Structure 1
Amino acid sequence: MIFFEVFPRFTKNRIHGIMKKTGQIKPEDKENFMNQESQIPHKRRVRYKGKYPKKFEEKYKELQPEKYKDTIEHVISKGNTPAGMHISIMVKEIIDFLEIRPGQVGFDATLGYGGHTKAMLECLRGQGHMYATDVDPEESAKTRKRLAEQGFGEDILTIKLQNFCTIDEIAEEVGGFDFILADLGVSSMQIDNPKRGFSFKVDGPLDLRLNQETGISAAQRLDTISREELAGMLDENSDEPYCEEIAKAITDEIRRGNHIDTTTKLREVIEKTLSFLPEKERKDTVKKTCQRVFQALRIDVNREFEVLYDFMEKLPGALKPGGRVAILTFHSGEDKLVKKALKQGYKDGIYSDYSKDVIRPSAQECAQNGRARSTKMRWAVKA
């Protein structure tokens, strides 16, 4: 096989002759040698129409960032996120606040692509330890491998496949944390992959689970939900103004025996429900409504509010005295919960200081990464 790689134009018979003369192959091995290449399946990359790939699975260069660095830089320079990647938000602001020093112990509640984790590890300069959690087995395995290849192995980084609301268990095990980061946003790798069902822009199974190996999908949730419960979910989880109309349309569709099991089917129900709107405002309203409906379902199937509430309750006990925590939120529901918890903790004397106002990403960062626009950062310091 080495000959084929170095001299691709050589015929099999010619290579066989060379190897036979040099004693590298026996006559009886000829048949096995000649069939060797056919035994190894050849996997070709996904072909696509047009000059540039459009579908997630076709973007083979973006999905191999280590091999095609120029392509990655070009995509990012245009203000886009390469397929299969995630651009970490507000890294400088987080690092500036946490004031990480070598020898400290830290916790990244949501590992994701590992961008924030890497930045914090670099501050440790090989001294201390980082712990990180993630519920996505597929993406956390990729991130573990990526960080290990960059020099951040198990000697300085421990990754646990569990929910970040178990922070109390980890803190008890390691003796507490000097700094904590919780980035509550969904990673771009999950949003962009059609198989995960997070985006209404591309067709895929209506799943929305962060861990597809447990729980029920959004499609299964819709199969059994009542109209009243769905309307309440849309209102509570995303402040959807058309929650009643959307809930009625979805439950009526399912009652007729039409399962809403793909992202396209759900989007089409929303479009049909809002068809009464004036044409000039319909497109924008449909887009925003789709975003809110998908958000509400994602929050529900992953129990995001319950998990965040548990985390905020356990947070003070996980921080060492003087320890610092930074939290990134992405919608009003979770931001209100975080704000209330930090404010109450300050009143109770648990925190010596906390953010009275949110910190937002710079205009430059928002221009380079559109997904940063809704981000709010809040922080606190343990008394």
Structure 2
Amino acid sequence: MENADLRQAKLQINYHEPVMLAECLEGLRLSDASLVGGTFVDCTLGGGGHSYAIANKLSPAGTLHSFDRDEEAVAFATKRMATIPVEKSPKFVVHPVAFAKLGEEIAANSVDGILYDLGISSHQVDDSSRGFTFVGNNPLDLRMDRREGVSAQEWLRSVSADDLADALRKNADMDRAYKLATRLVEVAVKTAAENRDILPSDVKAIVEAVFPDKRRDVNSLLARVFQAVRMEVNGELAQIEQSLTAAVDCLKVGGRLVVMSYHSVEDRCVKDTCAKFEKACICPENLPVCMCGGNHQRLKKVNRKPILPSDEEIARNSRARSAKLRVYERV
């Protein structure tokens, strides 16, 4: 078994610097002296980079709640947070559950700011034993929490080609989705009959066969296939919508919602979910006049367009290149 100290050292390497950290802290208004004793939530603890920075901005009177269903992330980040001197540290509460349970864990109208850093963490990608990546040749798993749910290969062995094609389109905007889905289902059946795991090399061979004209883009295509399956296995879009809806209830009036996404599917989910709370009128569109009173708006945009990383940050941290940051305020 791997030495515990060596394992922690690997985790330290694989948890990279948080993306757009300064912009996230600014979005949460953590430079405001009146908020240093406030209550904040980091819905995506990961390696603890954002949580650590938030905690260092708060006073001992403040409270930080952090969510993550990845037990390795919770263990690593908890140790990291413990390095903050006790006399300077706010109250730190870890919730080792999916952020979709935000509304069950946090009281309504109690929070000054909520942060989301969506998607998969750098550590989960870099640690090939987790089965999140096509680098290496470990069995497909893709679960954020390996203690529950079904693995990616179990899901592939149970899903129909039609449903898999829908997931590829919905979660990754894949073209040739049905042809790709049919081949993936075939290999899932074949490997089950052979009593062996589905491996990244199996998926790569299928992608190369379905996209023979795009061999230069095979890694990009593979990443999108893995993304689509991962999002389905973890129910990510549904969880984002559920959590953001709960976040609106949890925020105090004037509280901030700061959400960072890394691909168009996530960003569209964030934008569409929050748009429902930006409307003052919730009447059906075919009504000639407003009948609801027109006072239902609960969120407003702080920035008209999403905030993008600087060229300097992208040069320093390649993971930042596709990031989009949206900031909303509870009204």
Q: 2:199 aligns with which of 250, 262, 270?
A: 262
What residue is the counterpart of 2:325 in the other structure? 377
How much has 1:376 moved relative to structure 2? Answer: 0.5
Residues of 1 paired with 2:225 and 2:197: CA distance? 13
Provide structure 2 residue ranges, at least 5 long, that are not aligned to the other structure: 281-296
Q: 1:98 aligns with which of 28, 40, 44?
A: 28
1:184 aligns with 2:118: yes
Aligned-partner residue type, residue 289 of structure 1: L
1:294 aligns with 2:229: no
Between the aligned residues of both structures, percent identity stands at: 30
Q: 2:133 aligns with which of 185, 194, 199?
A: 199
How much has 1:283 moved relative to structure 2? Answer: 2.1
Distance 1:282 1:116, change over 3 A: same
C-alpha contact (below 8 Å) 2:134/2:201 kept by paired residues: yes
What residue is the counterpart of 2:83 in the other structure? 149
1:38-187 equivalences in 2 (<5 Å): 63=10, 65=12, 82=13, 84-100=14-30, 101-151=35-85, 156-172=91-107, 176-187=110-121
Residues of 2 paired with 1:129 and 1:185: CA distance? 25
Residues of 1 paired with 2:74 and 2:37: CA distance? 25
Tell me the alpha carbon deviations over residues 202-258 of structure 1, each in whole angstroms, 9 at most, x when there is no partner.
221200000011100001111111111111111111001121221121122233335
Residues of 2 paired with 1:85 and 1:317: CA distance? 31
Distance 1:360 1:112, change over 3 A: same
- Aligned residue pair count: 307
How much has 1:64 moved relative to structure 2? Answer: 7.3
Tell me the alpha carbon deviations over residues 107-157 of structure 1, each in whole angstroms, 9 at most, x when there is no partner.
000100000001111111333110011001122112112211333698611
Aligned-partner residue type, residue 247 of structure 1: A
**SS at structure 2 position matched to 1:103:** coil
Aligned-partner residue type, residue 200 of structure 2: T
Return the TM-score normalized by structure 2: 0.86
**SS at structure 1 position matched to 2:107:** helix
Residues of 1 paired with 2:143 and 2:89: CA distance? 28
C-alpha contact (below 8 Å) 1:194/1:205 kept by paired residues: no
Q: CA RMSD in A?
A: 2.5
Structure with higher RCO (Cα < 8 A, 6+ apart)? 2
Residues of 1 paired with 2:245 and 2:4: CA distance? 51
1:248-327 equivalences in 2 (<5 Å): 248-256=182-190, 257=193, 261-275=198-212, 277=213, 281-284=214-217, 286-327=218-259
Residues of 2 paired with 1:351 and 1:45: CA distance? 45
Residues of 2 paired with 1:161 and 1:42: CA distance? 24
Higher alpha-carbon Rg: 1
Tell me the alpha carbon deviations over residues 38-84 of structure 1, each in whole angstroms, 9 at most, x when there is no partner.
xxx997999xxxxxxxxxx8xx9x6275xxxxxxxxxxxxxxxx4x3
What residue is the counterpart of 2:290 in the other structure? none
Aligned-partner residue type, residue 271 of structure 1: E
Q: 1:361 aligns with which of 287, 301, 309?
A: 309
**SS at structure 2 position matched to 1:358:** coil
**SS at structure 1 position matched to 2:64:** strand
Residues of 2 paired with 1:351 and 1:213: CA distance? 35
What residue is the counterpart of 2:142 in the other structure? 208
Residues of 1 paired with 2:36 and 2:209: CA distance? 57
C-alpha contact (below 8 Å) 1:351/1:382 kept by paired residues: yes
Residues of 2 paired with 1:185 and 1:214: CA distance? 19
C-alpha contact (below 8 Å) 1:231/1:243 kept by paired residues: yes
**SS at structure 2 position matched to 1:224:** coil
C-alpha contact (below 8 Å) 1:312/1:341 kept by paired residues: yes
Q: 2:170 aligns with which of 236, 244, 254?
A: 236
**SS at structure 1 position matched to 2:69:** coil
Aligned-partner residue type, residue 163 of structure 2: E
C-alpha contact (below 8 Å) 1:222/1:260 kept by paired residues: no
**SS at structure 2 position matched to 1:107:** strand
Aligned-partner residue type, residue 365 of structure 1: E
C-alpha contact (below 8 Å) 1:218/1:298 kept by paired residues: yes
**SS at structure 2 position matched to 1:144:** helix
Aligned-partner residue type, residue 230 of structure 1: L
What residue is the counterpart of 2:279 in the other structure? 347
Aligned-partner residue type, residue 29 of structure 2: E
How much has 1:333 moved relative to structure 2? Answer: 1.4
